[in-house]
Amino acid sequence: MNILLIEDDIELAQSLIGEFREQGYAVDHAADGMEGLRLASGQTHQVIVLDRMLPLLDGLSLVKRLRAGNVITPVIYLTTMSGIDDRVHGLEAGADDYLVKPFAFVELLARVRVLARRPAAQEVVTRLRAGDLDMDLLQRTLSRAGRQIELLPQEFRLLEYLMRNPNRVVTRTMLLEHVWDIHFDPQTSVVESHISRLRAKLNQDAEIDPIQTIRGTGYKLLAQD
Amino acid sequence: MRRTRILHTESFRLAALFATLFLALAGALIAVVYWIVETTQTAALVNVVEADISTIRNGYRDRGVDEAIEIVRQRLGSSDYSNVDLPGGYILLEDATRGKLAGNLAALPPQLGLLSIPRPHKKHGTVLGKGVYLADGLYLFVGRDTARLGAVRERILQAFAWLAGATIILAALGGILFSVQFLRRVDAITRTCNAIVAGRFNDRIPLRGSNDELDRLASAINAMLDRIAALLDNLRQVSSDVAHDLRTPLTHLRQRLEHAHAASATVDDYSAAVSRAIADTDELLRLFTALLRISQIEAGTRAAAFSVLSLSDLLNRLYEMYRPVAEDHGHVLHRDIREAIQVRGDAELLTQLFVNLVENALRHTPSGTRIVIALDVSADVAIASVCDSGPGIEADEREKVFRRFYRVTTSRTAPGNGLGLALVAAIAKLHQATIELSDNRPGLCVSVSAPVAARPNS
C-alpha cells in the first residue's frame, strides 16, 4: 500500500514514516502544501495523511483543491485543532477522517487501513457477509450459520461497522464515532459493555468467537474467506 | 488643531451643506422676485411712455405739429420730467428734414418700437423707451431712465446679501456648536478606547441617557467591551488552570519517570513504568482537552450552529447506550422519557452534557444504585434529569461542584479530573438552560431545564 504523508513537523514525519514502513507500507512525504498537492494529484496513493496547518498551502485548501480536481483519494487529517467546529469544517472540506494530535500510532494505522479499503461511494451495499455471519441491511436482520440472531439497534450498528471492516483493527474511538456519534472520550467502558453483549448473542450456539480483542486498542472481526 | 478638526466633523459638514442648499434656494427665490419686479416695472414704464406718446399723438392729430411741440414742452416742464436726476423722463420729437423739434435728447436716427438708448450726460445707465412715427418723417421717442429700476434691483440684491451673510454666520455658529458637542462625545469614546489600549480594561464610555445614536453606539461599544472582558477573564482562568492544575499530574509523571530511572532493574520494570507514564500522559491530555473545550464552549461561538433537535431521541439513545454499562457496574438504569420533546441546541454538546451526568452517577455511587434518566415538560420548559439513589452531595457542596477542578470530599479518591460538571455547567449556560442539584432522598438529582423549541411542523 502507498501512503502520502503531508506533514511539516519533520520529527513527527520521520517517526510516522518509520512506523508505516515497519508495517510494510510505502510512504511518500511532502513537507509543504504545494509539494503535497503536486504529489497527491498524481493519484498513486491509497491514502493521504495530511497535517491541517502546513506552509504554502493549508490542509483545508489542499483537500478542497484535490476534490475540485476530482481526486477522490481518502484523506485523514492530523491536527492540533480539537474544537467541534474544526472537525466539522475539516470534514466539510472533503476529508474522510480526522485525528487530533497527539495520537497513538495504532489509532492512525487502524484508520488508514479502514480508509484504504473503503468501497467506492456509489456502491450501495445491502448485504454484508463475514465468515458465517450474514447481515441484511434492508431487513435489519442477522444470522450466524443460518440461525437468526436478534440484536438491539445499537448492537446491530456496532456489528455492521465491524463487518464492513473485516480482519482490520477498529479502535474504540472509531467505534464511538461511527456507532454512537460520540466525539469525546467517555469515562466508562461503553464500547466494552456493548461488545460483551454482542459477543454473548453471537456465540450462544457457536464455538468460535468472531470478535477478537486487540488489547489496549480495540477489536477485530475475524472472517475467513 | 482643534479648529481644523471641527471643520472636518460630520456635523459641521452637514451644517455647511444645509447652509449652501438654503443659499441656493434663497438665490433662486430672489432671482424669481427680481425677474417679476423687473418685468412688472418695465411694463409699468412702458405704460407711462405709451400714455405720453398717445397724448402727444392726439395733440398732433388734433392741432398739428406745433401742438405736439407744445405738449412735449409741457410734459418736460412737469415734475416727473423736470427733475433731471430722478426719475428722469426723456422725449425727443424730430423731423426728417428739420431735425430736432423739441425734447431733452440729442437727435437720434429714428428707430421704432421698444428700445434702449444710452443715458445722455451720464456714463452709466440707459433710457428705455419707444419710438414711433406721428406722421411721415415726424419721429417721436419717449423714454424713461431705468435708474429707478436699478434702485429696486439693488435693494433686492442687498436684502439677499444680508440674508446670505446671516445664513452663513448662523450655519457656521450652529455647525461649530454641534461639532464641539459631537467632538466632545467622540473624544470620550476615544479616551475610553485609549484607556483600554493602555490596560484599564474596566473603563467604560459615559452615557448621557438621551438614547440618541451616539448613546446607542456608546452602549453597544460598552456591551462589546463587557463581552471581551468576560472572554478575557475566561482566558485568564484557563491559563491559570493550565498553569496550576496541570502541574500536579505533571509532577506525578515526572516522579514516576525519575523513580523508574533510578529503581528499574529489568526490562519489564522499564516497560511497566513506560506504560504507566503513557497512561499519565493520556490523562493529562484528557484534562487539557476538557479545559480547552470548556473555554471554547464558554466563548459561545457554537451557539450560532444551534438547530432544533429531539431531546427525547437523544436521551433514549443515551439510555440504550448506557444500560449495558450500568449493568456491568452493578447499577440499574431506568428511563422515564416523554416522547417528542424538542429543544434548540447542539446535539453533540447536549450528548456530552448528559453523558457526563450519567457517568457521574455511575462512577460516584455504590453498586446496586438505581439511576433514572427522565424527561418531562412543564409550562414550555423541558426538564431533563438524571437521578440516582446513591449517597448524594451535601447541600453546602452543591454549588461548588460546578467549579473547575472542584471535587466532592467523599470522591477525591475516585478517578476523575473535576472538570465533568464544569463542562456540564458551561454547556447548559450556552443553551440558556438552568441546572439544579437536589436531594433525591436518598441520592442526587441533577435537573436541566431548557425552553421547549416549537415543533417544525406546527
The pLDDT of residue A63 is above 50: yes
Q: What is the pLDDT of residues B391-419, one digit of tens each?
A: 877 777 777 777 766 666 555 555 566 77
* CATH placement of domain A2-116: 3.40.50.2300
SS3 B404: coil
Examine residue B442 and say whether the peptide bond preceding it is cis (omega within 30 degrees of 0): yes
Contact A152 B289 (CB under 8 A): no
List, as ranges, residues 134-153 from A with C-beta within 8 Å of B.
152-153
The pLDDT assigned to B74 comes to 83
The pLDDT assigned to A105 comes to 87
List, as ranges, residues 270-289 from B with C-beta within 8 Å of A.
285-286, 289
CA-angle at B208, arms to B206 and B214, nearest 5°: 85
Touching check for B420 and chain A: CB below 8 Å?
yes
CB A103 within 8 A of CB A123: no
Amino acid (one-letter) located at B87:
P
Per DSSP, the residues of A16-71 read HHHHHHHTT-EEEEESSHHHHHHHHHT---SEEEEESS-SSS-HHHHHHHHHHTT-
Per DSSP, the residues of B337-393 read E-SS-EEEE-HHHHHHHHHHHHHHHHHSS-TT-EEEEEEEEETTEEEEEEEE-S---
The pLDDT assigned to A137 comes to 87
The pLDDT assigned to B411 comes to 55
Residues A3-21 have a mean pLDDT of 89
Topology annotation, domain B2-151 = Beta-Lactamase (3.30.450)
Indicate the pLDDT class of residue B442, thresholds 50, 70 and 90: confident
Q: What is the phi/psi pair of residue B127, to 5°? A: -115, 125
Contact B351 A102 (CB under 8 A): no
d(CA B187, CA A46): 63
The pLDDT assigned to B458 comes to 42
Residues A57-63 have a mean pLDDT of 86
Topology annotation, domain A127-221 = Arc Repressor Mutant, subunit A (1.10.10)
Touching check for A190 and chain B: CB below 8 Å?
yes
Touching check for B411 and chain A: CB below 8 Å?
no
Touching check for A172 and chain B: CB below 8 Å?
no
Touching check for A189 and chain B: CB below 8 Å?
yes
**pTM recorded for the entire structure:** 0.64
Q: Where are the domains of chain A?
A: 2-116, 127-221
H or E element at residue A213: strand A211-214
* CATH placement of domain B304-451: 3.30.565.10
Touching check for A183 and chain B: CB below 8 Å?
yes
Name every chain B residue with its beta carbon within 8 A of the beta carbon of A181. Answer: 348, 351
Name every chain B residue with its beta carbon within 8 A of the beta carbon of A183. Answer: 348
Asked, colleague to colleague, whether B2-151 and B304-451 share their fold, the answer is no
The pLDDT assigned to B319 comes to 93
The pLDDT assigned to B335 comes to 92
Name every chain A residue with its beta carbon within 8 A of the beta carbon of B351. Answer: 181-182
d(CA B139, CA B108): 9
Name every chain B residue with its beta carbon within 8 A of the beta carbon of A193. Answer: 324-325, 327-328
Distance from the Cα of A83 to chain B's closest Cα (Å) equals 7
Name every chain A residue with its beta carbon within 8 A of the beta carbon of B359. Answer: 186-188
Q: What is the pLDDT of residues A30-43, one digit of tens each?
A: 888 888 888 888 87
CB B92 within 8 A of CB B53: no
Residues B342-348 have a mean pLDDT of 88
Task: Select the residue of A183, A184, A188 nearest B362 (Cβ to Cβ).
Answer: A188
Q: What is the pLDDT of residues B294-315, one digit of tens each?
A: 877 877 777 777 888 999 999 9
The pLDDT of residue B148 is above 80: no
- Count A/B contacts: CB-CB distance under 8 Å: 62
The pLDDT assigned to A113 comes to 87
Contacts of A144 (CB under 8 A, 6+ apart): A132, A133, A134, A202, A205, A206
Q: Where are the domains of chain B?
A: 2-151, 213-299, 304-451
Q: What is the pLDDT of residues A131-142, one digit of tens each?
A: 888 898 888 889
Among chain B residues, CA nearest to A187: B359
Among chain B residues, CA nearest to A103: B282
Asked, colleague to colleague, whether A2-116 and A127-221 share their fold, the answer is no
Name every chain A residue with its beta carbon within 8 A of the beta carbon of B321. Answer: 154, 180, 190, 194
Contacts of B86 (CB under 8 A, 6+ apart): B145, B147, B148
Three-class HEC string of A155-169:
HHHHHHHHHHCCCCE
Global ipTM: 0.84
First CA to last CA across chain B, in angstroms?
A: 64
First CA to last CA across chain A, in angstroms?
A: 21
d(CA A93, CA A60): 6
